[in-house]
Amino acid sequence: MSGKPFKPSTGTLVTLVVVAMFNVMGGAAVSPALPAMGEAFPQASETAISLVITLPPLAVAISGLFMGALADRVGKARTLVLSLAVFTVCGLSGLFLPTLESLLVGRFIMGVAIAGIAAASAALAAEYYDEEKRAKVYGWQSAASGVSVLVLETGGGFLALMGWRAPFWVYLAGLAGLVLALLFVREPDRSLARQMTSTGMGQVARVAGVALAVSLVVAFASQTISYLVPSKMPYLVTAFGESSAVTGLFLGGFGLANIAGSLASAPLQARTPRSVLTAGCFVSLALGCVFMAVAPGLWAVLVGAVLIGIGVGCVTPVLMNWVASTSTPENSGKRMGALATACNLGQFSCTLLSGCVLALGGGHPTVFAVAAVIALAGAVAAALAHRKMDDD
């Protein structure tokens, strides 16, 4: 109302990091309750029950681009606030919806809201901060997502002991995010943003298409590979005669490595060419998959999980910062929405990749061997494309 341009505060930064935790709350929070949910709905198949955790990321993949475009049109801050409100209501709806069908509808709508949160929060960071600061913010957001998974998988398991509906209480966290957004988030000053981007607009226009295309491919491939850890590593652990408790510990190690990679991303971006850093992350993914594929002992499985976690944790903020640096206030939401879509499609394609390998007669080590080849190809491609990727 005073006419002064909005300047992001510490509260704004905290808000953008906190809401990033909700991006992974589609399934991690309630997945421990799936067995009890199956007992509550005995007429439903196991596949139908599993939709409770798979529908939200599917909704993100379907609606990511649309929600990003909506943010560009009506405003990033408005989209973030609206998405947080819908996220909270639909998340908590699991506490009282009477049928599985109604529960699944609520889960899908919640996934659309998560797409809005992901696109709007990333686009706001792109307009609030310069490239160096953005790299740190995206790294913190990625680390926050990793922390969220660790906390939710543990907390959701304990809440599930109280009944299958109890884990849905974690979505009260959305209310805290909503309050923070209302207090500390405002629409960026468009005139200032346009002035900042107009200086190098020729270069931005020239590399924007390349940046988005390469980032979408890298995000898709890295997420496909990384999701082999929670989906296929348990089979490797049990093959060594260990229990699910060991799997949980190893998944915790994977999550901690993801956080470490995310926090290391910004310092590495400051002194490492983008192509070299991306290639290095793919090498880490490839090595991790090799350890998984040829694991002579349980220790190798853990090393593989850690290497994969570091690689995907580090490369995700790199992609976000690259896309942000080549975006304008008019299209940052759409481009960030497209990146969210690529990440979630990659997670879904993990099932397709492993399913094809297993259908052809391969085992779980073979799945990781194929993934290692894909990651190695990604490393070579990133190294060869250094002129394109490092053209600022």
pLDDT in tens, 209-226: 888 999 999 999 999 999
Per-residue model confidence (pLDDT) at position 122? 94
CA-to-CA separations, 157 to 30, 37, 88, 160, 235, in angstroms, rounded: 8, 13, 20, 5, 20
Contacts for 235 with CB less than 8 Å, ≥ 6 apart:
364
Instruction: Look at residue 385 and give its three-state secondary structure.
Output: coil
Delineate the domains of the chain, giving CATH numbers in brackets: 9-188 (1.20.1250.20), 202-385 (1.20.1250.20)
Mean pLDDT, rounded, of the chain: 87
Phi then psi for 72, rounded to 5 degrees?
A: -65, -35
Q: What is the pTM of this model?
A: 0.86
Does 127 have pLDDT greater than 60?
Answer: yes
Tokens found for residue 57: 């990321």
pLDDT in tens, 37-46: 888 999 988 7
